[in-house]
């Protein structure tokens, strides 16, 4: 059985409170869970920073240190060029191109797709990104596939977040349906754990590390400040996916 941990919406911004929540989650993964001895991959599914500045990405790089193989995705609060300036300063690629990543394990392919749109809060998975993902799946043989991204492709019952989800997921729907080895879709953005389906495949959203957002009946404010940081553990047993959620004080 493989274990993929997921954390999302960290919103590094230089303040002690946010950093404390993030460090508590990383400590839980590394020390309580045993790090790479028990966790095969770590997904950070977007909104790594709050304002997408190079300074915030340097803060993130200094803090996000574990022995777990890690995929980091971008969200609507992130900036592709600033992210690359810190993580890959010598990369000659277009600094504003999608930041798409993949992690190939012995028995699993994990894809990290960039659903951010520069300068916007809603998202999309571009033709370029989906074509790249097609190639990764084709090269992975018969391995099952987990696809991760930031913006949900369906409504989740949170009116504000539903207004800034993926714009038109039609192409993504077709992508998922033509790859039967995809066993799960995981994303962030909504700062709330949830389970649904998209293109007849399980879709799981991660709780937020930095904060939790309210459902309409939980209060008039968007932000729910009473909730601790959270994470997801995705267990992969062959072609079967089981997800558990945890809160970290």
Structural domain containing residue 209: 2-248
Cα–Cα distance, 98 to 102 (Å, whole number): 13
pLDDT digits (tens, 9 = 90+) for 171-211: 999 999 999 999 999 999 999 999 999 999 999 999 999 99
Phi, psi (deg, nearest 5) at residue 241? -115, 130
Domain with 104 in it: what CATH number? 3.60.21.10
Total number of domains constituting the chain: 1
> What pLDDT is recorded for position 161?
96
Residues of the chain whose pLDDT is less than 70? 92
Which among 215, 216, 209, 218 has a CA at the least distance from the CA of 189? 209
């Amino acid at each position: 059985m493989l274990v993929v941990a997921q954390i999302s919406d960290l919103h590094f911004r230089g303040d002690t409170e946010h950093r404390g929540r993030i460090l508590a989650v990383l400590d839980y993964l590394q020390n309580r869970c045993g790090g790479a001895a028990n966790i095969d991959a770590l997904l950070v599914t977007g909104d790594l920073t709050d304002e997408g500045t190079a300074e915030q990405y340097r803060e993130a790089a200094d803090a996000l240190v574990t022995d777990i193989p890690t995929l980091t995705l971008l969200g609507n609060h992130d900036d592709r060029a600033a992210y690359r300036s810190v993580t890959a300063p010598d990369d000659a690629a277009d600094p504003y191109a999608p930041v798409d990543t993949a992690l190939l394990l012995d028995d699993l392919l994990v894809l990290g797709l960039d659903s951010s749109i520069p300068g916007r809060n809603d998202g999309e998975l571009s033709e370029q990104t989906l074509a790249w993902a097609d190639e990764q799946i084709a090269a992975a043989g018969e391995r099952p596939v987990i696809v991760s991204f930031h913006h949900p492709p369906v409504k989740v019952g949170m009116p504000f977040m539903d207004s800034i989800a993926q714009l038109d997921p039609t192409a993504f729907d077709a992508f998922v349906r033509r790859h039967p080895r995809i066993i799960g879709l995981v994303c962030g953005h909504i700062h709330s754990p949830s389970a649904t389906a998209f293109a007849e495949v399980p879709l799981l959203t991660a709780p937020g590390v930095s904060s939790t957002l309210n459902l309409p009946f939980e209060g008039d404010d968007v932000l729910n400040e009473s909730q601790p940081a959270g994470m997801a553990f995705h267990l992969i047993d062959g072609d079967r996916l089981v997800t558990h959620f945890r809160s970290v004080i």
